[in-house]
Amino acid sequence: MRNIISDYNTQIFDISTGYRPLTESFKYDQDVYSGYASMNFTLAKKYSLITGLRYEKTDIAGAFAESKELNFSGIGYENFLPNLTISRTFKNFRTLKLAYSQRLQRPSLQFINPFNNNSDFVNRTEGNPYLDPEIVHQVEVAYNITFKGFTTFSSVFYKYTDGIIEQILNIDNNGLSVNTFKNIGTNNSVGINTFITKTVNLVTLRTGGNFATYNAKGIVNGVAASRSSYEYNIFLNGEIKISGTFKADFFGFFRSPVRTIQGDNPAFTIYGMGVRKEFKNSSIGITMIEPFNADKFFNSNIETSSFVQQTSFSIPFRSIGVNFRYKFGNVDFKERKSKVKNTDLKQGGDSQGGGNTGTGTQGT
């Protein structure tokens, strides 16, 4: 069960009429009923098979406080989602796995929230509460190795997504840009991902990344469209034990531009570093994020047969913080871990702050 409430109040000043309020409240209810069956088999020595089938029934309703003519209910969908995994174990903790799965990617709050962000009158953004989920079919071959001080995991995959959700830009009759989200069509993707961790003496390094093709086809504003490209990301982080009580850590991440059928949304990079001194019951440290860059710039390029839009914006990003931690006696506070992981939600959807700027709450 998910409940999303979006409540916003916007005041616009018109020189001829004065302040003009734009107020709306929206409640979105999503109820999911599901059942799951799974079976494990040992096919032969070192071979195993796991198969399962999940049934899901989803009911959706939405209610606007002011624009009641836009209310909807009785909308839903039913899905049977199979999965199959065949694995082979080898000596020295090595495993080879072949897997097929089908799953739903439901739109998250960022995509659904109908709040109309018109703080920039030239470029407006809003979510779409009428979105359908993506249906993802994936075949994957994975191999992992684990031994003293070293772990690696690599996989290659093929993924077919039906009803892919993408940010779509429209230009209205006044020449203003309106960003929203739509189920535009399908995407075929082939990719590889890898993760490696290695400890050498006092240094632990972790690195990895993924690369995937992008081949989308669909209908955008009544016109057939297609695009082929690729996406990738890479990360590196680590820890250095300077002495018994001094430690340093660092991290870096780069993500390529996010591809859509209309163009490219901004790439993203971030890096940081820190040092800390540990005591018997406490620690103190300094953390720096992007110490050499005061601002971070985001560039996007959207092209259609009728218009081209190139945008660039920046936000303050550099930060320096002091961290202090103290443990009282034997008290050990542990963060409560929720059993709800929300792995069925499609993340992202906020390349330029669209669709999620209003005051919204989401409950599960």
Residue 307: other Cβ atoms inside 10 A:
13
Residue 87: other Cβ atoms inside 10 A:
16
Q: Of the candidates 161, 38, 49, which has an alpha carbon nearest to the alpha carbon of residue 103?
A: 161
Q: Sort strands 47-64 and 177-200 into parallel, antiparallel or unpaired.
A: unpaired
Asked if residues 361 and 5 have their Cβ atoms less than 8 Å apart, the reply is yes
Average pLDDT over residues 287-299: 93
Asked if residues 289 and 251 have their Cβ atoms less than 8 Å apart, the reply is no
- Rounded to two decimals, the pTM is 0.82
Residues 6+ apart with CB under 8 A from 318: 289, 290, 291, 292, 293, 294, 295
DSSP label at residue 229: E
Q: CA–CA separation, 268 vs 347, rounded Å? A: 15
User: Where exactly are the structural domains of the chain?
Assistant: 2-232+333-358
Residue 348: other Cβ atoms inside 10 A:
12
Percent with pLDDT over 70 in the chain: 86
CA distances from 210 to 73, 85, 96, 187, 193 (A): 40, 22, 19, 17, 4
Q: CA–CA separation, 349 vs 37, rounded Å? A: 33
Q: Distance between terminal CA atoms of the chain?
A: 5
pLDDT at 79 over 70: yes
Span 197-228, pLDDT tens digits: 999 889 999 999 999 999 999 999 889 999 99
Please give the pLDDT value at position 1.
73
Mean pLDDT of all residues belonging to the chain: 86
